[in-house]
Amino acid sequence: MLRQRECTSQSDVYALTTGYISPDNPPYVSVYSFPNGHPTDGHVPAIDTLFIDFDIPSSGTYRSNAPNIDAWKRDMSALLTRVRAVCKMLLREGRAENFRAALSGHKGVHLYLDFPVIEINGDTLGQAKVGLGEYSKKLLEYFQYETRMHLEDWIDVDSRDMARLCRLPNTIHSDAASAFNEDRYCVPVSIEELSRITPDEYIRLTQDTRPVPESCRRFPSEKAGNVITQYVRNASASRSGGGRATYDPRAVEKYEKSVNENIELSDLDFLSSDKPCIAAFRERDDMFNHGAASHAMELNVIAFLTNRNVPIPVILEYFDTVPDYDKDETMTRISTILKRDYSEWSCDAVWQQAAEFCLGDECRIYRDEQVEIAQ
């Protein structure tokens, strides 16, 4: 609300939110709870969900200060095309049960990926931000890869604000009500509903409150929790600023001026001698038969090569044996990694996300890890 209130039970939350619902004072809720203290004091919250905010980008034609329903429908149609694609993918991949969703009532759609509270084990707030941020980037890349759509300008998955607020479902959206001269509410929706939603359906659903669909209740993903925990543990304290990677539109141009022109594809075995899975990935007949793991390994390989200033034509040559190889598509991935300054994965991250491509005992790092575990 306009003033923050502390709640220590579900009944407290219910009493405050239902007692203060009004167009002039709509309630919000923290994405996380703070059992150990607030992040402004350096405390790590109970991280048990990832808030994914679909929103009309600033490049759209709709403006809240000069609302026009036709402009809203054009921009919302483009947004919902992307929302439908993501939700159809989640349903197709059997991942929908771990996501909750809501329509903001005005210009957005909220997704929540739920998982058990991750164990921080003394890690700093900065490391939690970095780890969650790295996972968020990989999830966005996965969404884009599976939907074959550009999503970065339409999705905000930002981990920098660990005290972030979100609109409470079944409460009025005063800005939308003012813009359209009718009540509009933030309402809970199912992933199934989102997979077929249209602008007109968005309007209909947000004109009143509605019962919470059973599929909008928490069903935590143990797998996501384990992977995010690993990301946090792998996070470097030196990168404690956290959040999204920086974006440099001139990164490709700058990279081409800094590459080592003497590197050829035949040098790859030497370059990856400490990580032989990089060279071996190119020889795999099944390199793209493992869904998200294949995509993750592809991005990891590109990041590895760009971190070593390999010329872009050599990186393209690396992938030209792939069936249905698309040079432009591969160049898009290289460009994204350079512009976003993505880092190659640690071996722990590969084991968590793309274990199919780990070489096991053929890799010194893996052998050393097994010796350490045995001891």
Query: Could you tell me which CATH class the domain 20-221 is placed in?
Result: alpha beta
Give the chain's end-to-end CA distance (angstroms, integer).
54
Tokens for 337? Answer: 């990694």
Residues 102-131 as b/e (b if ≥16 CB within 10 A, e otherwise) read bbbbbbbbbbbbbbebbebeebebbbbbbb
Burial class (CB in 10 A: 0-12, 13-18, 19+), 248: middle
Quick one: pLDDT at residue 25? 61
- Average pLDDT along the chain, 375 residues, taken 10 residues at a time: 70 74 68 84 88 88 86 94 96 94 95 92 76 87 88 80 85 87 93 96 95 91 89 61 53 87 89 89 86 80 91 94 83 85 74 81 75 48
Quick one: pLDDT at residue 128? 85
Helix 251-258 / helix 327-340 crossing angle, nearest 10 deg: 90
- Alpha-carbon separation of residue 45 from 54, 267, 372 (angstroms): 23, 46, 32
Quick one: pLDDT at residue 3? 60
Q: How many other C-beta atoms can be found within 10 angstroms of the C-beta atom of residue 8?
A: 9
**Of 131, 154, 152, which Cα lies nearest the Cα of 352?**
131
Torsion of CA 73, 79, 85, 89, to 10 degrees: -130
Residues 90 and 335: their CA atoms lie apart, in Å, by 26
Q: Are 227 and 352 in contact (CB under 8 A)?
A: yes
Q: Are 248 and 205 in contact (CB under 8 A)?
A: no
Quick one: pLDDT at residue 247? 56
In the chain, where are the structural domains located? Answer: 20-221, 251-374
Q: Which H helix or E strand runs over 217? A: none
Per the DSSP assignment, residues forming a β-bridge with 171 are 186
pLDDT tens, position by position, 266-299: 998 888 888 899 999 999 888 888 776 787 788 8
Residues 139 and 111: their CA atoms lie apart, in Å, by 13
3-state secondary structure of 90: helix
CA 206, 210, 213 angle in degrees (round to 5)? 110
CA 39, 114, 86 angle in degrees (round to 5)? 115
pTM, two decimal places: 0.62
Q: Are 56 and 107 in contact (CB under 8 A)?
A: yes
Quick one: pLDDT at residue 211? 93
Per the DSSP assignment, residues forming a β-bridge with 186 are 171
Pair type for strands 108-114 and 49-55? antiparallel
Per the DSSP assignment, residues forming a β-bridge with 112 are 51, 100
Q: Alpha helices, DSSP H only, in the chain?
A: 10-19, 69-92, 125-147, 174-180, 191-194, 199-205, 222-234, 251-258, 268-271, 277-282, 291-307, 312-318, 327-340, 347-353, 364-374
Residues 372 and 250: their CA atoms lie apart, in Å, by 43
Residues 150 and 282: their CA atoms lie apart, in Å, by 26
Edge-to-edge order in the sheet of strand 49-55? 155-156, 49-55, 108-114, 99-103, 185-189, 171-172
